[in-house]
Chain A
Amino acid sequence: MVGDEHVSMIPAAHTKVWNSEVNGQPQEVLAPSNAVLLDVLRDKVGCLGVKRGCDMGTCGCCAVMVDGQPRLSCLTMAQDVQGSTITTVEGLADGAHLAPIQQCFAEHGGSQCGFCTPGFLISSQALLDKNPNPTDAEISTAIEGNLCRCTGYQQIIQSIQAAAEIHRGDASPAKPASSAHSDPHPSGPN
């Protein structure tokens, strides 16, 4: 029996109604008053595209847009953003049409294992919303809080540049995915 002597490690939080608009849909869920946004989005709203990589603000996998600003949902108390408009990776596409940023990440190697991708998409979409004409350095600053262990970032930057081009209405997305001197037809050992 757990007697009276048992002191709970985590003081039980009372449950509260949490409502916000997530990806264009009003949501009303019951969540502990001390829940972080990441847990509410994943466990209550069902946005499993929002990823948990560290739970302490070091990886950026959990980034979501809150009222247009990118935020780390693992460091955001759900109650603090009560009543806001939230966009997760699931909300970027327009129906069956991928957003340019999504299409470009898929096409230009911006995503390998893909676990960091939702966070990167949010950070870069937030950048492009503000600045459709970013330099590589501005892109780097925008994604500096996102960790990617697979790609080495280079193809991510290229993906974002390609998406920026589409955003600018530059209707020729067919540019080489890499500025690198790759060489599918080497001249031979001689």
Chain B
Amino acid sequence: MTDGYVQQPGSNTDVRVDGKRVAGKIKFNPPGSGGSRPEMADRDMDFIPEVEGGNESQPAGQHLHDKYRTGTSVGKRTPLVDGNAKVTGQAWYGDDVRLPNEIIGRIVRSPHHYAKVKSIDTSKAEALPGVLAVSTGADAPQRFGVLPVTKDEHAMAVEKVRHVGDLVACVAAIDEPTAREAAALIEVEYEVLDAVHDPKKGLLDVDDPIHWRGQYHIGSTNVQKRVFQEFGDRSKLEQARATHHGKWKFMGVNHGFTEPHAVVAHWDSNGRLQLYTPQQVPHYAHRALATVLDVPMHQVNVIRTFVGGGFGGKSDPFPHEMCAAILARKAGRPVRITFDREEVFWVNRGRHPSHIEVQMFADEDARISGFEIDALIDGGGFASFGHVTSYYNGVLATAPYELGSFHYTGARVWTNKPASGAMRGHGAVNTRCAIEVGMDDLAEKLQVDPIDLRLANLLPPHSKTITGFRITSNGMRQALERVREGSQWDSKFRKLPLGKGIGIGCGFFISGSGLPIHWDPNKFPHATVHIQIDMDGGVTVHTGAADIGQGSTTAIAQVVAEVLALPLEMIHVRSHESDTSPVDLGSYSSRVTFMNANAAISAALEIREQLVDAASGILDMPAEYLILNDRRIYSKRDPAIGVSYLEALHKSQEDKGALIASGAYRTPPMGGVHKGAAAGLAPAYSFSAYVAEVDVDVETGLIKCTDVWAAHDCGKALNPLAVEGQIIGSCHMGLGQVLSEQMVYGRTGHLQNPNLLDYKIPSVHEMPNVTPIIIESCDPEGPFGAKEAGEGPLLPILPAVVNAVYDAIGIRINDLPLTPDKVWAAIAKKMKREDIAEAQDLPTPRLDFSELQQKIVQRSSQHGGRDSRRQRSEDTDPYINGVLFGFDPTVPPEDQDGDWKIAVRPTSEQLEGLGLAGSAWTKIEQRKMEDGK
């Protein structure tokens, strides 16, 4: 190359003679070159929609952002922009932050499940040479918590400890051995209280509830939150043709991210706190730190390091972050605290151990006339995200099927365990497993194919669920059809020999939550992105989006590159510091790509407009005639007429310097008015369907999942490489929960496996061969049509495996994980009951279609046509849940059926018949007691 700018490294794939790769170089047109340069890349027509003159077909309808597609990056398999940092060891995680003069912090943890802290004597620790600071709960009396409604945590125990491993005190010393030693020298006097371990006991009145919520406390129980929801007409349930009843037990599971928590706190020379932490949600940590440390938020700079896996486990503000800051303030030196793996389990925030009971009903037309769900979830010692989890366990079951009625009772109780919280697939995973297995059972009882049963009961695109969620794009039908085809379902299902089985499961998940946790009543946006371009032409993108490995930084860079038609190497995303990043609500509820990419697009469009204006000025040509491509802006009609990107940029910088734009995203107003209507609301929903094949060894009960066909509707794959990575990774995590992972609490309530040896995460040998199938339904609200792909793909794997196990051995086990001992016990029980001598003689389920099969196949093919018309916006009539049951879609359901109900608390007659969790409603809130009721 002789002239032009040179930049490296790029992604050139040339290989040197010795096999080493040559660092790539990208060629730049010098300013003013005008566009005659032959090396300018052709527009990549395969990635530009037909409406804009390209080749990409758009079966799912057009999108608002189509006209900004330049064929640069969106839809291409794109390596992570921070990938090189990760493969060279330069990525800096929590424990890799080393500041000059740092000291080491250690936390003193409770050895008791539940106890009053009577006194703490720190004098011996303080006297130990090398100890620089000691702190106890008295130093930080302020409460915090991730949800403003349930702030129930302290930096360290103020009055009580609530689980083994709860924080009591902390120390900082010159090195780790000294800090450990000092921690051991702290003497704490406890008065041990009666602990609650079994969540069922959490429903009972006790003398000393784990937390006290004053007038809102429910009786004197340990119920933290209870939910009741009833929608629809339950009077028809008695005439059901088939019913399913499932009583489930799910063990708690942990995120198992590879990077243990770590934090570095440093009060700089101006007295501002610089806090380095691998946080998914730096903004909430920021808020909580300000509260607990009693400093204004602008005196805290939260620096998100690289995050070594989050999955929900690094999204609460954590007490150890407060501890580090307190110690650093006392010692006047930077303090680093790094967790042992065991401590990760004490902090937990994993998936709730749950008791879930479902009853499901199908009528004579194989329509789903009702779901009844009762979920008792074990929250452990703190509220965390539990308020939301309590809703999600029910409301996220209201799609993708059209329901005749929906009844949900949920309760979350405090127990003396490490707190449960949000984990990938938050709140939806366990119930989803129960109802998808229920669908399988209903199909069996109706004698129809379970995929056809689902296909005949799907809500169409652009519809409303029974609780009023707005469904926009919906690729469920395609997902089911694609996995059916890919797995050769029809030639395998109920036809495989004993020990081999195939099963189906579906999923439905939110893509960003409609209501931000902290944001009302102000109408702040959910996400804001700033873009800045100075004369060098490089694009700096400021965002608070926390990349936790899912590739959000890459997605944001991609959409900016796409709109501005610049190579990815010219986009620099800055997202680590709260000082420079606009506020972002963080990486939870699968919101980051959806919301931040939307914000980034709107900022990039502002810049694009300025560039095009400048070009149109130089070329004296109307802006509408101009298109962007590969660092050049030129006429659609004659590509030779144009200006380079830099030329247009410099022109538009005249008199004002750097181009700066800000874009924001906020969800549209949505949802019903009933209590709890906001829980589960999202601007878009993802859908998925998986088919799993398993081998079950009937002699030992060992299950091996061999193949998975995993179809996920992510709207539009901005980066198919990352979407596939998310799908396969979700399979891995879900497979762990269904086959091997569990937090085992022994008879005394003690966690027995707080390490990665006994907590069994699948290794490479346990992984099936996963075939990811990306479904693109082009969401009208999503950035270039995209929806989430990080959490939804986890849901279907659990039921798919459980259903496949039934197909293999004819036994349904409702107690996860399906460890060999449980499976073998179930086999042995069945052999005994049915008097079978050899496990090899176990019968396997077979399927004889009833007359309904033909009926539902017919119905689903009609619905198929309806759905594709709706998806392409050829049919824009309103559709509400209930139309399948004869409703008029333009009239609210409650006005067309006298028996249709909406209720958010039980009537006094109902109280008797409620399930386990529902029984929480038999207790009276304190404030109502005082009224004498």
Contacts and interface: CB of A to CB of B under 8 A. Distances in A.
Nearest to B256: A149
A66 interface: no
A97 B88 contact: no
Contact of B15 (A59, A166, A190): A166
Interface string A36-68: 000000000001111111111011010000000
Interface string A106-123: 111101111111100100
A109 B725 contact: yes
A103 B717 CA distance: 23
Chain A contact residues, majority secondary structure:
loop
B260 A107 contact: no
Given A1-B127, A107-B11, A147-B258, A186 B486 contact: no
Contact of B60 (A113, A143, A188): A188
Contacts of B180: 9-10
B259 A113 contact: yes
Given A115-B309, A180-B772, A51 B181 contact: no
B873 to A, nearest CB: 12
A182 interface: yes
A182 B764 contact: no
A97 to B, nearest CB: 5
Nearest to B727: A152
Nearest to B481: A189
B773 A182 contact: yes
A93 interface: yes
Interface range for A: 35 or more
A58 B757 contact: yes
A61 B258 contact: yes
B88 A49 contact: yes
A6 B125 CA distance: 11
Interface stretch (B548-556, B879-887, B900-908): B548-556
Contacts of A144: 763-765
Interface in A12-55: 12, 47-55
B825 interface: no
A66 to B, nearest CB: 17
A9 B184 contact: yes
B732 interface: yes
11 contacts: A12-B177, A48-B98, A49-B89, A58-B341, A89-B87, A106-B80, A147-B761, A155-B728, A178-B724, A178-B772, A186-B774
Interface string A82-118: 0000001110111011111011011111011111111
B868 A188 contact: yes
Given A98-B84, A100-B20, A121-B87, A152 B259 contact: no
A150 B864 CA distance: 35
Contacts of B247: none
Given A48-B92, A89-B88, A189-B59, A184 B720 contact: yes
Quick one: which of A55, A89, A187, A190 has the most chain B CB within 10 A?
A: A190
Quick one: which of A12, A109, A146, A189 has the most chain B CB within 10 A?
A: A189
A62 B111 CA distance: 30
B773 A183 contact: yes
Nearest to A39: B176
B32 interface: no
B173 interface: no
Contacts of A186: 59-60, 478, 774-776
Contacts of A174: 13
B90 A188 contact: no
B763 A147 contact: yes
Contact of A102 (B87, B124, B729): B87
Nearest to B16: A97
A181 interface: yes
A47 B306 CA distance: 17
A150 B771 contact: no
A111 B19 contact: no
Interface in A159-181: 166-167, 169, 171, 173-174, 177-178, 180-181
Contacts of A115: 93, 257-259, 306, 308-309
A98 B87 contact: yes
A171 to B, nearest CB: 5
A106 B722 CA distance: 11
Minimum-distance CB pairs A-B, first 3 = A49-B89, A188-B59, A113-B549
B106 to A, nearest CB: 12
A117 B91 CA distance: 10
A114 to B, nearest CB: 3
A177 B550 contact: no
B478 A106 contact: no
Nearest to B548: A113
